[in-house]
């Protein structure tokens, strides 16, 4: 149903007050029949009925008294932000179905993605070369199958998910733990712009001025889990926030997947824990995910046509596998000069025979 000008005005007021959760929203609708009627009755007594704390009550009353519609709508227009209410047709059913749905969404970009089939991929901010390779390995087939990727725009795995999806011509959603008035971390500002330009979406439940806080990111995780058909944990330590997302996905009846790693890597402890507890399905490819969520793969198998051109290249290919090897290990294995091997590796990478996966580690393509 198309919102009227009055309803948009009321939604903007309530969203700017930043005091409504789903439980409070339901209470107001049951008591008043609409947010418009509830707004006419907003006072300290009503906020106490909603269960607001003293600091929230004072802040909400102050914001209501100072609210300036022209100013607030001007901020949204200047930043090209669209406000979506839980009552709007454009609000995703996947989020409406979870028990703690956000009442309002602030968005920049392609809002049609909110109703697309999507998969969440989460993990550590301290991404390792292994984590990078895992993302590069799994995302191409997900994108080829038409899935939208969902992540949190944090450093590490989140940023890599968005970057890899964009580079492959896919669509990605970044769910933020703060308002769209700024991007955190600042190092991902250009990536956020690229997401929008590539047809992706930035989304948050927080009004533009709201800064990130220790409570905003765990709350953000429920939107990541709720939007998606399933959640993939790529790299996660024992106390990782990614495990919160995985736990919420389970609570919502969604599929949870985990990419295993080395047993000595503390970055993988959380991932291995949810696998061992039966909370996540161990996966080694995108096909494992697609089969579980009932999405058909469109990935076509392509054969690597690279052929070694020199004796050095032949020797390098004989000892390289898909497990990373350092330059020193390669030198020791084939007993050639370091500069000679380094030059060969560089030429082989340009021709698609090998790949530098970071930190001086090499693998066969």
d(CA 333, CA 327): 10
Tell me what pLDDT residue 350 has.
Answer: 82
Q: What per-residue confidence (pLDDT) applies to 171? A: 97
What is the mean predicted confidence (pLDDT) over 8-24?
92
Residue 20 DSSP SS3: coil
Q: Which pLDDT does position 4 carry in this prediction? A: 61
DSSP-derived secondary structure letter, 240? -
CB neighbours (10 Å) of residue 47?
Answer: 22
Comparing 296 with 73, the larger pLDDT belongs to: 73
Average pLDDT over residues 235-246: 90
Distance between CA atoms of residues 227 and 318, nearest Å: 45
Identify whether the C-beta of residue 299 lies closer than 8 Å to the C-beta of residue 332: no
What confidence score (pLDDT) does residue 339 get?
85
Mean pLDDT value across the chain: 90
Query: Three-state SS for 175?
Result: strand
Rounded CA separation 140/66 (Å): 49
Domains and CATH numbers, the chain: 1-78 (no CATH), 111-293 (3.40.50.450), 311-364 (1.10.10.10)
Backbone angles phi, psi at 350, to 5 degrees: -65, -30
Strands 201-204 and 325-326: unpaired
Question: Quick one: pLDDT at residue 2?
Answer: 47
Q: 273: exposed, middle or buried (C-beta count within 10 Å: 0-12, 13-18, 19+)? A: middle
Rounded percentage of the chain residues whose pLDDT exceeds 90? 68
Lowest-confidence region among 12-26, 127-141, 232-246, 334-348: 334-348
Radius of gyration for the alpha carbons in the chain, expressed in angstroms and rounded: 24
What was the pLDDT predicted at 301? 45
Give the pLDDT of residue 5.
62
Distance between start and end Cα atoms, the chain: 51
Question: Does 362 or 152 have the greater pLDDT score?
Answer: 152
Name 236's Cβ contacts closer than 8 Å, sequence gap at least 6.
122, 123, 124, 242, 243, 246, 258, 267, 268, 269, 270, 271, 274
- Spatial separation of the C-alpha atoms in residues 226 and 62, rounded to whole Å: 32
Residues 117-142 have pLDDT tens digits of 999 999 999 998 889 989 999 999 99
Residues 6+ positions from 317 with CB-CB distance below 8 Å: 308, 348, 353, 354, 364
């Amino acid at each position: 149903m198309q919102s009227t000008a009055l309803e948009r005005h009321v939604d903007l007021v309530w969203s700017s007050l930043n005091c409504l959760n789903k439980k409070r929203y339901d209470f107001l609708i049951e008591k008043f029949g609409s947010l418009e009627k509830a707004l006419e009755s907003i006072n300290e007594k009503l906020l106490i009925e909603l269960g607001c704390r003293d600091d929230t009550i004072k802040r909400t009353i102050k914001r209501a008294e100072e609210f300036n519609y022209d100013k607030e709508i001007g901020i949204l227009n200047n930043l090209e932000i669209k406000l979506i209410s839980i009552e709007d047709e454009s609000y995703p059913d996947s989020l409406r179905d979870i028990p703690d749905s956000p009442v309002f969404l602030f968005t920049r970009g392609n809002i049609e993605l909110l109703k697309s089939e999507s998969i969440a991929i989460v993990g550590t901010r301290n991404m390792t070369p292994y984590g990078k390779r895992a993302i590069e390995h799994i995302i191409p087939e997900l994108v080829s199958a038409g899935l939208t990727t969902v992540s949190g725009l944090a450093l590490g795995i989140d940023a890599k998910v968005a970057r890899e999806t964009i580079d492959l011509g896919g669509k990605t959603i970044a769910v933020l733990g703060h308002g769209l008035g700024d991007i955190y971390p600042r190092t991902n500002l250009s990536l956020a712009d690229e997401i929008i330009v590539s047809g992706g979406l930035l989304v948050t439940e927080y009004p533009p001025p709201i800064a990130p806080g220790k409570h905003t990111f765990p709350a953000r995780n429920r939107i990541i889990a709720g939007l998606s058909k399933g959640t993939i944990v790529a790299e996660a330590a024992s106390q990782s926030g990614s495990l919160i997302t995985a736990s919420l996905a389970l609570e919502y009846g969604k599929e949870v997947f985990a990419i295993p790693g080395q047993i000595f890597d503390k970055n993988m402890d959380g991932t291995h824990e949810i696998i061992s507890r039966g909370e996540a399905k161990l996966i080694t490819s995108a096909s494992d995910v697609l089969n579980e969520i009932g999405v058909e793969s469109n990935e076509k198998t392509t054969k690597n046509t690279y052929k070694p051109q020199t004796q050095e290249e032949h020797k390098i290919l004989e000892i390289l596998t898909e497990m990373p090897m350092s330059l020193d290990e390669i030198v020791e294995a084939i007993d050639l000069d370091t500069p000679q091997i380094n030059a060969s590796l560089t030429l082989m990478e340009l021709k698609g025979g090998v790949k530098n996966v970071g930190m001086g580690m090499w693998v066969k393509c």
